[in-house]
Chain A
Amino acid sequence: MSDRSRVEEARARRAREDRATRWAAAAFGLAILAALALLGVYLAGGNTQAEGVLLFLTFAAIGLGFGIWVKVVVGPEEIVEDRYPMRSDPEERQAFEEAFEESLDEVAVGGRRRFLVRLLTGVGASLGLALAAPFLSLGPIFSRDARNELFVTAWQRGRRLVTPEGEPLRPTDVIPDQLVTVFPEGAGNPADAQAVLIGTQPGRLDVGSLPDPAGVVEGLVCYSKICTHAGCPVGLYRAAAGELLCPCHQSTFDVNRGAIVLSGPTGRPLPQLPIGVDDDGYLVALGDFTEPVGPSFWNLSQGSRRGGSAE
């Protein structure tokens, strides 16, 4: 290669780098402008979209500047670095082991040491348990009432069915194909007591298939609203088919046949709330649900640790 072409090549490279440097500088200049504009938009009252775009411009310009810098001005460079095997040299390892053993021998001799280490393991384990125990305070697990919570709700015999707004209902308030969410009156809408009161289509309710055949009023039937799968409210009612559908995992229940499972992943029907009518003509519960409500748990069937709420 002649001196002349070498000079020219150097000059061309120089020009390329100059150009790139100018582009990088322009990018950083844009970043300054965009950042100041961002500040301006914020001070002027703020605008989410404008701020997002300006923040994008600022950082995209910074990235572009650095990108040009590294790709053109710095240029690619390949280096080869030596690697070491991860394991220490055998002598090093041995020397460490010996030094460590020696130090340990100074702490305690022979069998004594092993005994002490065992004791300390015991100390660690018992202290760990004792210190972990206060986490139990996070849940109400020591009182019997609290443990019974999963088995009972606020429904009791004679308690009126009311809407979430607290309005009591007469049988005539619910027409066929209608679904009303109900709570026990005066209980403050507790989540586990939510129930759906459904007006079934005339003649379609198979009373004999219900867990509590006596707990219906003139085509009205009431079930827990909590899906027995993962606990979502069973909020979708396909009136024509008489199906309740859970929007979370699509379990479907047959309203006319004791809310048995038609499809979907849940393993058991919705518990029924037996209902009747009180002396004033309002709908009331005849007791608690026929089974524990909501997602299943392991001792659900051993259950009935129910307090005497049904009487």
Chain B
Amino acid sequence: MSDTPRSVRQAPLDDLARWLDDRLRLAEGSRRYLRKAFPAHWSFLVGEIALFSLIVLLFTGTYLALFYTPDTNLVVYDGPYVPLQGREITAAYESVLRLSFEVRAGLLMRQIHHWAALVFVAAIVVHMLRVFFTGSFRRPRELNWVIGVALLLLAFAAGFTGYSLPDDLLSGTGLRIGYSVLLGIPFIGPLLGFIAIGGEFPGVGVMPRLHVMHVMLIPAGLIALVGAHLLILVRQKHTHKPGPKATERNVVGEPLFPNQTLTSVALFAFTIAVLSLLGGIFEINPVWLYGPYEPFQVFAPSQPDWYMGWLEGLLRLWPAWEPTILGVTIPSTFLPGVVVPGILFGIVFAWPWIEARWITKDRAEHHIAQRPRDVPMRTALGVAGLAFLIVIFVAGSNDVIAADTATGLQAISALLRIAAFVLPILSGWITYRLMVRLRDSHEPVTANEPTDT
């Protein structure tokens, strides 16, 4: 083509792009996305780590699903793991042992999958903390905050159903506790429990149900919500840090192409690299050591994956209250297992509205991220909430701490009960004073504050 300008290159990929544009009119809308501004600060990349972990989870999980059998019928183990040879175990557990010991690359995939799940939740939490403490959930981003919290809940569900699938002694114990909490809900508990597992524990056909949730329903929900999360992000554009050029009417950052794209590719590769190293070198969830699940067996210490630790801690710390009022028993697990987590997540979900109504009284649209000192009360309450979560998370290991420190379990639990009240108040108060002093001792970084759009 003689009339092609010199700067336009000729390559097979370019031909394909033009072929597509001929049919889909893509160039017109896509051009401005090449120059979409992406804030160049590391803290904006944490959410991407969560996204990349999810992609790793989907790929490794698909591989695992090709070898896993959600079947609780008993088979006699005759594989290479000597301690279990000749034992009657479920086909589900047997398939995980086979995957771990006989399928080439199987154990690697399994361990990368498990590590990726832990990193996935951790990245979501850190991302959420960034969004919280910088006020990036404020109007117009309330919707994406809510979707984000829902994603965290789905990540919990994915993790819980996932580590229940191997049908080993630890996973069966987790399932047992989950069922018990469900059973304890007044009036509808027995109905819910029976519907969940098909009868009284251990129920019938639990594994197929967990399996279909773990490999189909929950991933579908995750993908749909992540998609919505990203679409809304593009539509609303990023928040950005306060700075000399940043205003409420612009976005300052690096162009999406090439800078941000290459940065993201690099981050994706590093995420996979770290997960691979963890999965290859660091043993995780060695289900063969736990043995098959038997309802009358358990081992100590029994502990869930880290992101369930706060729930476990609440169950452990809660005092032994089980009142029966007018013939209706309120089981001891109901408040710590259902009501308190429900209230906590209710507050987190509603936070953008709670804050706008009672704390900042600010319902205007905002695009410049705040510094924690800008709203001392939010930062203080956030730190207090975090302190509470950390105390109950530590309580989830009270038996391990007791064993390691040779201190009585009850002394530690009593201490943690006090700490669950004192530490949030103390840390919240200190944070508040600190933030107020910081705020009053410095000029704002940007001239655009305060804003009223």
Are B40 and A78 in contact (CB-based, < 8 A)? yes
> Shortest distance in angstroms between B178's beta carbon and chain A's nearest beta carbon?
9
Whether A225 sits at the interface, judged by CB under 8 Å, is: yes
Whether A82 sits at the interface, judged by CB under 8 Å, is: yes
| Set of chain B residues within 8 Å of A79, measured between Cβ atoms | 35, 37, 252-255
Whether B330 sits at the interface, judged by CB under 8 Å, is: yes
Q: Mark A103-145, 1 if CB is under 8 A from B, else 0.
A: 0000000000000000000000000000000011011110000
Q: Mark B318-349, 1 if CB is under 8 A from A, else 0.
A: 11111010011111110011000000000000
Are B281 and A76 in contact (CB-based, < 8 A)? no
| Set of chain B residues within 8 Å of A56, measured between Cβ atoms | 273-274, 276-277, 280
Are B319 and A51 in contact (CB-based, < 8 A)? no
Partner of A82, one of B40, B194, B250, B399: B250
Partner of B270, one of A52, A59, A231, A248: A59
Are B327 and A301 in contact (CB-based, < 8 A)? yes
Q: Mark A46-78, 1 if CB is under 8 A from B, else 0.
A: 101111110111111011111101100010111
Q: Which residue of A lies closest to B202 (CB)?
A: A191
The size class of the interface chain B forms with chain A is 35 or more
Q: How many residues on chain A are close to B (CB under 8 Å)? A: 82
Within 8 A of A (CB), among B254-278: 254-255, 258-259, 262-263, 265-270, 272-274, 276-278
Are A294 and B280 in contact (CB-based, < 8 A)? no
Whether A150 sits at the interface, judged by CB under 8 Å, is: yes
Are B333 and A297 in contact (CB-based, < 8 A)? no
Are A265 and B317 in contact (CB-based, < 8 A)? yes
Partner of A139, one of B187, B194, B317, B398: B194
| Set of chain A residues within 8 Å of B276, measured between Cβ atoms | 52, 55-56, 59
Whether B385 sits at the interface, judged by CB under 8 Å, is: no
Within 8 A of A (CB), among B222-258: 236-237, 245, 248-255, 258
Whether A8 sits at the interface, judged by CB under 8 Å, is: no
Q: Which of A10-18, A167-175, A201-209, A232-240 contacts B (4 or more CB under 8 A)?
A: A232-240
Q: Which residue of A lies closest to B140 (CB)?
A: A86
Q: Which of B15-23, B299-307, B355-363 contacts A (4 or more CB under 8 A)?
A: B299-307
Whether B183 sits at the interface, judged by CB under 8 Å, is: yes
Whether B365 sits at the interface, judged by CB under 8 Å, is: yes
Whether B180 sits at the interface, judged by CB under 8 Å, is: yes
Q: Which residue of A lies closest to B191 (CB)?
A: A141
| Set of chain A residues within 8 Å of B273, measured between Cβ atoms | 55-60, 62-63
Whether B316 sits at the interface, judged by CB under 8 Å, is: yes
Whether A295 sits at the interface, judged by CB under 8 Å, is: yes
Partner of A231, one of B111, B180, B194, B209: B180
Whether B190 sits at the interface, judged by CB under 8 Å, is: yes
Q: Which residue of B lies closest to A148 (CB)?
A: B200
| Set of chain A residues within 8 Å of B294, measured between Cβ atoms | 164
Are A297 and B331 in contact (CB-based, < 8 A)? yes
Partner of B199, one of A49, A62, A81, A146: A146
Are A60 and B198 in contact (CB-based, < 8 A)? no
Q: Which residue of A lies closest to B262 (CB)?
A: A70
| Set of chain A residues within 8 Å of B287, measured between Cβ atoms | none
Q: Mark A267-279, 1 if CB is under 8 A from B, else 0.
A: 1100000000000
Closest 6 CB pairs of A and B: A52-B280, A267-B322, A139-B194, A63-B269, A247-B300, A191-B295
The interface of chain A, by Cβ under 8 A from chain B, is 42, 45-46, 48-53, 55-60, 62-67, 69-70, 74, 76-83, 85-87, 135-136, 138-141, 146-147, 149-150, 164, 181, 183, 189, 191-192, 194, 225, 228-233, 235-236, 247-251, 261, 263-268, 294-302
Complex A-B: 29 CB contacts under 8 Å: A46-B105, A52-B112, A55-B277, A59-B273, A62-B266, A63-B269, A67-B263, A74-B259, A76-B40, A79-B37, A85-B453, A140-B198, A183-B296, A191-B296, A228-B332, A231-B180, A247-B301, A249-B315, A263-B413, A264-B320, A265-B332, A265-B333, A267-B320, A295-B180, A296-B184, A296-B329, A296-B332, A299-B329, A301-B324
